[in-house]
Amino acid sequence: MTTGLHDTIAAIWRIESPKLIATLARMTRDVGAAEDLAQDAFVSAVTQWPGEGIPRNPGAWLMTAAKRRAIDRLRRDKALGVKTEQLHRAQTGSEPDFASRYEEIDDDMLRLMFVACHPVLSPEARVALTLKLLGGLTTAEIARAYLTSETTMAQRIVRAKRTLAEARVPFEVPTGSERLQRLASILEAIYLIFNEGYAATAGDDVLRPELVEDALRLGRMLARLIPYESEVQGLVALMEIQASRMPARLARDGAPILLLEQDRGKWNHLAIRRGLAALKAAERLGALGPYGLQAAIGACHARAATSDRTDWPRIVALYDALAQLAPSPVVELNRAVAVGMAYGPQAGLKVTDALLDEPSMRAYHLLPSVRGDLLYRLGRFPEARCEFERAAELARNVRDRVLLRERAAACGV
Amino acid sequence: MRFAVLVKSNADIESGRMPTREELELMGEFNEQLAKDGVLLAADGLRPTSKGTRLRFDHGRTTVTDGPFAETKELVAGFWIVQGKSHQEVVERFMHAPFQHPAVIEIRQVFESEDFGDTVTPEMRERRERLLGDQR
């Protein structure tokens, strides 16, 4: 097999495997079996296509081959006495041999997304399974993206499938009160993938743009499958807007550049446009949820041509709403920064006072860092210096420590 | 990775013929599938060059020429920007794009700033950084 054909088949796998697996998972009620059957179909493609040529509709060819195998397997199970109602379903469901109708595939994809992100799985497992089954990534690709060995990742995926089987997770799209909670589980998994790629993990400054792209793609897919949920659009908006800043985030030596100091000419404006469109869709669908609100905050920055044209009062209002919906010390701290910008450092300082006794903030370097900045702007230099030095002690990242010590020194005194 | 998919023009498009309802529907479905797969970043058609303008830059002098322009096959009639993990993936996605009339499309990867790594001279890198930004 020539290199050209190998690349072609790998590309076709990436495009078609999620749809195959989704359909087969519905037929067999078994994610592991679905993946095996999809892979079998590919093995036959790899065997037959070099001789016969690539079919005009590779997706349809694979779907036919995979379904045939699925029915064979179900028959074999039946012959062996294994009780399956799936066989009956598979045989009487009069699906055409060629590609299923779009709506069917959409339902199957949605079902697969809910199953892959089932709360019975750890967040880690949900992420791995989602990337494998819905992202069309190979185990090796996922392992590389997560800076771990292929063996480790393969085991994680095997365990995840076993957990789903043992928990007898039903293959259906949840309804009623369960639905929103299960949807939140999917959104969380996608945003975890995004952050893994976008934010430097502790001790490791490697940005992985491919994970950012994977997360964006999964988010966009979900937004098409569930077009009427505000938070899905909200998450897509948030990711597009955050990702738009990637070309501006790092200096040549790898040091991070703060949002307010970034060169906005480097921001990806097509991504901003998509993000703002998704945000508008989210707003039309109802009150913004936490992801939507964070996206709206990002949009305020995205809309300002220069940092001094930022609509800080609007950002404060959005943080107020976020603090109501999803309160946390980090949200409160960000709110303090916004208040400081909109209404002056004294007002911002007041907001941080409430956080001084917060246990989760005790080891968090950003609290003294923010206080230091506000005190500096008030001309209270000895206190500012104290805060910056404390922040430097708490900072875990060498670069942050250096920056904070510089700010402490700049207080004079 | 991002890829630009450029639609080359032809005499038909340049004459200003608007697409038929069937063509629009089929292309609409095709774009919808790209959107459902989460890879569609942008897609637009361009008006014919009879409504376009060319600026030619030559040693500090700029010449302005109004269309239409002659070399029809070299003109661009429209574009997609799509996300893909490989060049081959984008080729596969567009292999069966529903063009009803003879058409040519060209697939080209978009440069990301990381691409300007060691193959670029220090001077070029600095200039690129000044103009477009570079990291790592």
At residue A91, the pLDDT reads 53
d(CA B109, CA A207): 21
CATH number of the domain encompassing residue B94: 3.30.70.1060
Chain B residues with CB under 8 Å of A250 CB are: 135-136
Domain at A1-100, CATH from 1.20.950, 1.10.1740, 1.10.8, 3.30.2300: 1.10.1740
User: How are beta strands B105-109 and B53-58 bridged, if at all?
Assistant: unpaired
Whether residue A280 has pLDDT greater than 60? yes
Six-digit token string for A88: 């009956």
Average pLDDT, chain A: 89
Residue B93 falls within a domain, yes or no?
Answer: yes
Six-digit token string for A5: 């054909």
In angstroms, what CA-CA distances link A83 with A26, A76, A88, A166? Answer: 17, 11, 11, 17
Mean pLDDT, range A221-247, rounded to an integer: 96
Task: For residue A251, give the chain B residue with the closest CA.
Answer: B135
User: Which residues, other chains included, contact A57 with Cβ-Cβ below 8 Å and sequence gap of 6+?
Assistant: A98, A99, B96
Residue B55 falls within a domain, yes or no?
Answer: yes
At residue A204, the pLDDT reads 46
What distance lies between CA A106 and its chain's CA centroid?
Answer: 20
- CA A155 to chain B, closest CA, distance in angstroms equals 24
Q: Which amino acid is at A308?
A: D
d(CA A43, CA A69): 12
3-state secondary structure of B93: helix
Chain A residues with CB under 8 Å of B26 CB are: none
Weakest-pLDDT range from A39-48, A201-210, A361-370: A201-210
Residue B103 falls within a domain, yes or no?
Answer: yes
What are the domain boundaries of chain A? 1-100, 361-413
Mean pLDDT, range A299-308, rounded to an integer: 96
Mean pLDDT, range A87-110, rounded to an integer: 60
Contact of B12 with B107, CB cutoff 8 Å: no
Annotate chain A with three-state secondary structure: CCHHHHHHHHHHHHHHHHHHHHHHHHHHCCHHHHHHHHHHHHHHHHHHHHHHCCCCCHHHHHHHHHHHHHHHHHHHHHHCCCCCHHHHHHHHCCCCCCCCCHHHHHHHHHHHHHHHCCCCCCHHHHHHHHHHHCCCCCHHHHHHHCCCCHHHHHHHHHHHHHHHHHCCCCCCCCCCHHHHHHHHHHHHHHHHHHHHHHCCECCECCCCHHHHHHHHHHHHHHHHHCCCCHHHHHHHHHHHHHHCCHHHCECCCCCECCHHHCCHHHCCHHHHHHHHHHHHHHHHHCCCCHHHHHHHHHHHHHHCCCHHHCCHHHHHHHHHHHHHHCCCHHHHHHHHHHHHHHHCHHHHHHHHHCCCCCHHHCCCCHHHHHHHHHHHHCCCHHHHHHHHHHHHHHCCCHHHHHHHHHHHHCCCC
- CA B79 to chain A, closest CA, distance in angstroms equals 14
Nearest-by-Cβ selection for A221 from B37, B42, B132: B37
Contact of A340 with A349, CB cutoff 8 Å: yes
Give the confidence band of B114 by pLDDT, cuts at 50, 70, 90.
Answer: low
At residue A206, the pLDDT reads 65
* B35 touches A: beta carbon within 8 Å: yes
Nearest-by-Cβ selection for B92 from A15, A106, A274: A15
Whether residue A232 has pLDDT greater than 50? yes
Give the confidence band of A1 by pLDDT, cuts at 50, 70, 90.
Answer: very low
Cα first-last separation, chain A? 73
Residue B136 falls within a domain, yes or no?
Answer: no
Whether residue A287 has pLDDT greater than 60? yes
Which A positions 122-161 lie with beta carbon below 8 A of chain B?
none
- CA A135 to chain B, closest CA, distance in angstroms equals 10
3-state secondary structure of B38: coil
d(CA A39, CA A16): 11
Task: For residue B125, give the chain A residue with the closest CA.
Answer: A252
A266, B133: Cβ pair inside 8 Å?
yes
Nearest-by-Cβ selection for B92 from A8, A221, A225: A8
Contact of B62 with B56, CB cutoff 8 Å: yes
Q: How confident is the model over A23-50, as pLDDT tens digits? A: 999 988 889 999 999 999 999 999 999 8
* B88 touches A: beta carbon within 8 Å: yes
Give the confidence band of B127 by pLDDT, cuts at 50, 70, 90.
Answer: low
d(CA B71, CA B134): 36
Contact of A246 with A264, CB cutoff 8 Å: no
At residue A309, the pLDDT reads 95
Residues in a beta bridge with B45: B78
Q: How confident is the model over A115-134, as pLDDT tens digits? A: 999 999 999 999 999 999 99
* B30 touches A: beta carbon within 8 Å: no
Nearest-by-Cβ selection for B133 from A210, A225, A263: A263
Weakest-pLDDT range from A49-53, A202-206, A218-222: A202-206
d(CA A310, CA B114): 29
Q: Which of A340, A401, A331, A347 is nearest to A373 (CA)?
A: A340
Mean pLDDT, range A176-186, rounded to an integer: 91
d(CA A74, CA A91): 10
Give the confidence band of A95 by pLDDT, cuts at 50, 70, 90.
Answer: very low
Mean pLDDT, range A172-199, rounded to an integer: 91
Mean pLDDT, range A333-362, rounded to an integer: 94
**High-pLDDT (> 90) share of chain A, %:** 69
Weakest-pLDDT range from A17-31, A350-364, B4-18, B84-98: B4-18
Print the domain residue range for B46: 2-131
Mean pLDDT, range A262-282, rounded to an integer: 95
Weakest-pLDDT range from A147-161, A172-186, B113-127: B113-127
At residue A65, the pLDDT reads 94
Which A positions 378-407 lie with beta carbon below 8 A of chain B?
none
**Total number of domains constituting chain B:** 1
- CA A238 to chain B, closest CA, distance in angstroms equals 15
Contact of A320 with A335, CB cutoff 8 Å: yes
3-state secondary structure of B89: helix
Which B positions 117-136 lie with beta carbon below 8 A of chain A?
129, 132-136
d(CA A87, CA A81): 12
